[in-house]
Amino acid sequence: MTLQYRDIGRLHTVACSTAIFLCTAVVACSAQSGGSETQEEAPVESVSANLERQPTPMDADVPDESDPPNSREESLSFGSDRVTSVSCTSYSSCATARGDAYCWGYVSLSAGPVSSVSPLQVPSSTHFKKISTGENTYCGMLKHSVYCWGSNYSGQIGDGTTAPSDVPVRIMTEATSVGRGAGYGCALKKKRVYCWGANADGVLGNATDASLLPVEVAGLDHIQTLAVGDSHSCVIGKRGKVYCWGYNAFGQLGNNDIQCQGEPPLARCYSAVPVEVKGIEGATGLAVGGLHTCAIVDSAVYCWGSNESGQLGDGSLVEAHVPVQVQSLSGPASAITAGLGHTCALVDGEVSCWGNNEAGQLGNGSTLDSPHPVHVQGLASPVSAFDAGGIDTCAIVSGNAFCWGGNQNGQLGNGSTESAPTPTRVRF
């Protein structure tokens, strides 16, 4: 078939027998939940059919054109792109803008991989408000339904098959958030968590084998927030306690498992069911990185796990199997995000980052790692959303997306492949 991938001002046409729209990467995502009990899922179907029955105004719940632009001259020139969400990965980034989903950077199609330096529209993604990118697979949210598409070799689409799909397929209803990992995905539905796909290191959280359909994570209820990482996931439950499951060789589950300490660890270091993070209660924010995890408690940030580049933010490079407090934040944190080896926090509408900075992903104009928070330069406030990827970071200001850091595949979306140590605007 012939599919058209459209960016603003240009039309990209790809001819292929079975077109698959993919991105490769690591993701961290979180959202709030509502509801109580699970219900039987609706039959799997294509998003295009569903959209015909459930029209949604394109401009609903997006920034108004009258919103004040940020202080950057380029924003004043181009106006608002109406970006409502952004998701970063190791090789690509995606966003929802003007009621559609777009991806840029390394885009893999059945006809062959493409590196796009500008956003390409995802087919049949009209009216998506949120998007989450993972290893070769995407998921989006539409009216509390989860739709996934892309590669499906381990069942990571969650539709009961291993057949890839080039268009979004509905796999769950009544959900409030979704996140993508490496070969698996998880969603929050009625305060319970469901995962599907490969089950390496117990990432499905139910002590069973891989699953082509969503299965409930064992022992969790009253869940408020879900954060999904490459090889482990975490949630915030009752009384703000945090529970994690999956890979744990660097202490990223936060349960101080003595079998996972030392060089090398004494046993296979993972938990196939959720375990409670030591010493955390009253958490209001959560982020899962490559090999570390962070939470907000009383507006302070606590992190645990790998600390090779200072991503725990405590001023050291020492691995931590229990939470340690981030030092030197300029004020109370309201949100956090974690990438492969760096972490960022939102403080008074502005972004500060710490950890690995090899490609300028901390946004402070340098490429030196920092075990302390540093302020992102040249980014206006207030920032409404942000996400950390492999070696890049993106944020939304006044309905426009800005990205910085590594750009070898065009994942900054600014029309080039040059890395940027300060924010640059995504060119929709």
Confidence band for 79, pLDDT divided at 50, 70 and 90: confident
Across 264-277, average pLDDT: 84
CATH of the domain at 192: 2.130.10.30
Q: pLDDT tens, 94-153?
A: 999 988 999 899 876 555 567 899 998 888 877 888 999 887 788 999 999 999 988 899
Does residue 382 have a cis bond before it (omega within 30 degrees)? Answer: yes
Give the percent of the chain with pLDDT over 70: 79
What's residue 266's pLDDT?
Answer: 57
Q: How many domains does the chain have?
A: 1
Mean local confidence (pLDDT), 195-216? 96
Judge contact between 176 and 135, C-beta under 8 A. no
Task: Report how far Cα 342 is from the mean position of its chain's Cα atoms.
Answer: 14
More confident call, 101 vs 235: 235
Provide the pLDDT confidence category of residue 68 given band limits of 50, 70 and 90: very low
Quick: pLDDT tens for 10-57.
333 323 333 333 333 333 333 333 332 333 333 333 333 333 333 333
Phi, psi (rounded to 5 degrees) for 170: -75, 130
Pairwise CA distance, residues 131 & 31, whole Å? 12
Would you state the pLDDT for residue 107? 73
Collect all residues with Cβ–Cβ distance below 8 Å to 132 and sequence separation of at least 6: 27, 29, 87, 138, 139, 140, 178, 179, 180, 185, 228
Q: In what order do the strands lie in the sheet with 350-355?
A: 333-338, 342-347, 350-355, 370-375
| Average pLDDT, integer, range 258-281 | 85
pLDDT tier at 76 (50, 70, 90 boundaries)?
very low
Check pLDDT > 70 for residue 230.
yes
Is cis: bond before 264, omega within 30 of 0?
yes
- Indicate the average pLDDT of the chain: 83
pLDDT of residue 34: 35
Structural domain boundaries enclosing 148: 2-425
Residue 89: per-residue pLDDT: 87
Q: Encode pLDDT of 399-410 as tens digits.
A: 999 999 999 999
Q: Which residue has the higher pLDDT, 112 or 426?
A: 426
pLDDT in tens, 281-326: 999 999 999 999 999 999 999 999 999 999 999 999 999 999 999 9
pLDDT at 7 over 80: no
Cβ proximity of 182 and 26 under 8 Å = yes
pLDDT recorded at residue 129: 84
Q: What per-residue confidence (pLDDT) applies to 123?
A: 82
Confidence at residue 91, expressed as pLDDT on a 0 to 100 scale: 85
In this predicted structure, the answer to whether residue 63 has a pLDDT above a threshold of 70 is: no
The pLDDT score that the predictor gives to residue 265 is 60
Q: What is the mean pLDDT of residues 55-60?
A: 30
| Residue 69: predicted pLDDT | 33
pLDDT number for residue 9: 32
For 41, 80, 310, 322, 341, the CA distances from 306, given in Å and listed in that order, are: 38, 38, 8, 11, 8
